[in-house]
Copies of this chain bind each other. A is one copy, B any other.
Amino acid sequence: MGASYYQFCPVAKAMELLDERWTLLIVRELLSGSERFNEVRRGVPRMSPTLLAKRLNQLVRAGVVEKRDDRYVLTPAGEELRPVVDALAVWGVRWIGELGERDLDPKLLLWDMRRHVDPAAVPEGRTVVLFRFPDTAPGNRRWWLLLTPGTADVCDDDPGHEVSVTVTAPLRALVGIWRGDLAWADAVRAGTVELEGPERLRRGLPTWFTLSPYAGVPRPVRAGVSAPSR
């Protein structure tokens, strides 16, 4: 655990555990349903496995996480961190709009989208979505999402199936849509995002993803800047 603040204040006591780097992001992953070490790791790819192991053990010792044969599950205390993570996310989405280039990780984006596919909205059979990000590093330009009403898989190399719809966009734009900074419809209309494929699928695609849970958070009203249409 982190250094003590030597204060009896509940905020201080909470932060002794939670203000350490990565800790709340791990909790975020666990709240999102990840349970296994490498599953959590996909959500914090820039964290070394040593440090992840250390943090997970800290959380176990703090009574926030319980380890059941290779599965890390939140205890009631851990589950009750949801309001904290939610409050942080709401604040972050409202007040930290500027994203650096390095913040735009396609793998995290696709992995996140995968988690929020709406099974009821996805067409019958198999749908293959190809995402093209012309502006990213060579190895990161093409991603495939294989959707069925029950499954969703991410591939970073050609799975060999025929592509149903292709999405071409700057990575930043797609992240913006995902975060709710930008609406699908606006982006397509403006030509920022290009959809190719049968019209039915082009129209349907925006409904297949429920977007980030915080996409719908209202943004601060700033004079002269209009909100994205929804």
Contact = CB atoms under 8 A, between A and B. Distances in A.
Contacts of A220: 76-77
Most chain B beta-carbon contacts within 10 A, residue among A20, A24, A25, A84: A84
Contacts of A76: 220
B88 A11 contact: yes
Contact of A89 (B10, B44, B81, B212): B10
Interface string A86-127: 111111111110011011110011001000000000000000
A87 B90 CA distance: 13
Interface of chain A, main secondary structure? helix
Most B CB contacts (10 A, CB to CB) among A76, A88, A96 go to: A88
What copy number does this chain have within its complex?
A: 2
A80 B84 contact: no
A186 to B, nearest CB: 19
A87 B91 CA distance: 13
A28 B5 contact: no
A22 to B, nearest CB: 8
A4 interface: yes
Contacts of A105: 6-8
15 contacts: A8-B105, A8-B109, A10-B89, A11-B25, A11-B85, A13-B92, A17-B96, A19-B19, A19-B20, A19-B24, A64-B95, A80-B94, A80-B95, A83-B91, A84-B91
Interface of A: 2-25, 28, 44, 46, 63-64, 76-77, 80-81, 83-96, 99-100, 102-105, 108-109, 112, 175, 178-179, 212, 214, 220
